[in-house]
Structure 1
Amino acid sequence: MIHDIPDLRVALECWIDLDEDRQRAREAADRVSRDGLESAIRHIFRSSRGMDEKKADYRTRQVLGGVEKCQVQCSGWLRPAIDANGAILEIGCGPGQLLAAAASRGCEVIGVDVSMEWLVIARHLVEQYGGSPKLAAGFAEQLPLTDDSVAAIISLDVIEHVGDQNAYVDELKRVLRPGGFFGLSTPNRYSLSPEPHVNVWGVGYLPRSLQARYVKLVKNQSYTFTRLLSVRETKKLFSQPKGFAANVTFPAIPEQELSNFTLPRKRLALIYNWLVEIPLVKLFLPFFGAYYRVWGNVKN
């Protein structure tokens, strides 16, 4: 237990060192108490993530401003989760922006993340918005919740980092009550834009066996714990026999995101936003679209 957050992580291979993460979580809790939430977030980006001061400041502003962005999503495609009569679980809640947005609307929120360090931040951020979150460090493949225990599940940009994606989907089905809502988002494997985690072009079009070697060659970075899915692969995971009624949509890039783009990138994004609204083009988005959402219900 760290900062009143239980550590329920089992012995699974993951992208972080659990012992180091526990120590950083204790440091984050001390820094929040001593210097405040913003300082603690900035320190995480500087120390744990190795960013320079300018980038750390930018990412800190992103975290603190992310609650407003999540408020927009809660009024849009995630509205069924907000309206669900029961607890909302976010898998991979990170620093807690979405939990804070939901809590500000009176929702009961539960957050599970592999990083205890970010959960410490999430607790304080949600409390700033009037919430009392239930948080736990755990893995998406083995959620520390009982069967049929939540009314809605949200999991944004998480499925591509899960070691066992089939187990992850099975866990969604297990803890979500019949008829419950789920909403996911993930980068598209077959995207014409650079792979967002390593900023390398063309990764998804390569066979799985070559992707990590290609990223290592081009960027000298590890690609071990990233596995982007195509729409076809995702639909197979959420197939009807597994008890899901799932929809896949390619949204426009949000206006809040465009404000952070350089001018050339913003122009390309505006063209993309125009294209995704054309009915004929929508048929081909699985082969070049930037990212997509998966949403729906578990069958009764």
Structure 2
Amino acid sequence: MQPTMNTVDPAEVAKFQAMAAEWWDPNGKFKPLHMLNPCRLDYITRQIAEEFDRDLTSEKPFEGINILDIGCGGGLLSEPMARLGATVVGADAAERNIPVARVHAEQSGLEIDYRHTTAEAIAEAGETFDVVLNMEVVEHVADPQEFLTVCQQLLRPGGLMVCSTLNRNAKSFMMGIIGAEWVMRWLPKGTHEWNKFITPDELFSMLETAGLNPVDRKGFVFNPLGWSWSISDRDLSVNYVTASLKAA
């Protein structure tokens, strides 16, 4: 049965289909995500630990937590979540991403439920999760508000969604498109469309409209001198991340 694709943008899916084989190459087309991943994981793990009262120093701190990684790609976030003990579903609308993710998880000795499907199809099946990871996806869908509403439906009462995207301003155009795609060539030209970027205030409003309570937002800041990323309380000018809760 073909997955429901209400908010999926076929042109965006095609972009990532073409890059699927390179997901686990740290020097390939997903180099920016490999560089950013430690920073993303730091934020995600801290948010989950805080909301579910877990000790990150324990062996399997996320045991018993059910996580959906929507737009999972090759599994750069799904695998660390599984290693921390979570039960993980990785879903992606780009079909070619799934075999890549499955093979890498098998090679890593991890059990992850990878699916070629959409948020809408999972919601229609009545599945819900403790945590939804929605990282660098919302700027690629056809209808961000509808997509976030579906993601809210995928959360159990008291559940947590972590959502990251890119701000929309002159700086994000310079760094996210001209810098990353044209100058550094970290990503193929056209990977991002600046007019699809979303400001933090716009995202907070969308989350609230979707029925979620936004509780935190931080910036992911790239330091070209140290060639590293860090989390900022104040600088949300380019990449940023939010945490929101569903009422219990």
Q: Please report the TM-score for the alignment, with normalisation by the length of structure 2.
A: 0.72
Which secondary structure state, in structure 1, belongs to the residue aligned with residue 77 of structure 2? helix
Work out whether residues 138 and 144 of structure 1, in 8 Å CA contact, stay in contact via their aligned partners in 2.
Answer: yes
Identity of aligned residues (%): 17
Secondary structure of the corresponding residue to residue 147 of structure 2:
helix
Q: 1:76 aligns with which of 29, 46, 63?
A: 46
Alignment partners' CA distance in 2, 1:248 and 1:221: 30
Aligned equivalents of 1:224, 1:252: Cα separation in 2:
19
Q: Which has the higher contact order (CA 8 A, sep 6+)?
A: 2
The alpha-carbon deviation at position 199 of structure 1 amounts to 1.9
Per-residue deviation, residues 253-284 of structure 1 (Å, max 9, x unmatched): 3xxx65xxxxxx326989xx69x45xxxx3xx
Whether 1:198 and 2:177 are equivalent positions in the alignment is: yes
SS at match of 1:152: strand
The match for 1:247 is: 215
1:233 to 193, 202, 213: 202
1:126–1:192 Cα change, 3 Å: same
Gaps of 5+ in 2: 53-60, 181-188
CA contact (8 A) 2:102 2:114 kept: yes
Unpaired segments ≥5 residues, structure 1: 1-5, 29-40, 46-55, 202-219, 259-264
The CA deviation string for residues 179-237 of structure 1, in whole angstroms up to 9 with x for no partner, is 01110111111352435553279xxxxxxxxxxxxxxxxxx858669611011211110
- Name the structure with the higher strand share: 2
Partner deviation per Cα, 1:97-131 (whole Å, 9 max, x = no partner): 11110111221110111211111111122233332
Distance 1:17 1:177, change over 3 A: closer
> Secondary structure at 1:294's aligned position in 2?
strand
* Counterpart check, 1:124 vs 2:72: no
Deviations 1:280-300 (A, max 9, x none): xx3xx45xx122111021012
Superposed counterparts of 1:241-280, under 5 Å: 242-253=210-221, 265-266=224-225, 276=232
Aligned to 2:69, the other structure's residue is in SS state: strand
Distance, in Å, in 1 between the alignment partners of 2:143 and 2:30 is: 33
| Alpha-carbon offset, residue 132 of structure 1 | 1.7
Q: Which residue of 1 aligns with 2:3?
A: 8
What secondary structure sits across from 1:192 in the alignment?
helix
Q: Equivalents in 2 of 1:226, 1:242: separation in Å? A: 21
SS at match of 1:171: helix
CA spacing shift, 1:156–1:9, aligned 2, 3 Å? same
Normalised TM-score (structure 1): 0.61
Amino acid of the residue matched to residue 297 of structure 1? L
Q: Where does 1:125-144 land on structure 2 (aligned, <5 Å)?
A: 125-140=104-119, 142-144=120-122
Supply the distance in 1 between the matched residues of 2:116 and 2:107 (Cα, whole angstroms). Answer: 21
Q: Contact between 1:88 and 1:109, CA under 8 Å: does it hold in 2?
A: yes
Answer yes or no: is the 8 Å Cα contact 1:160–1:227 preserved in 2: yes
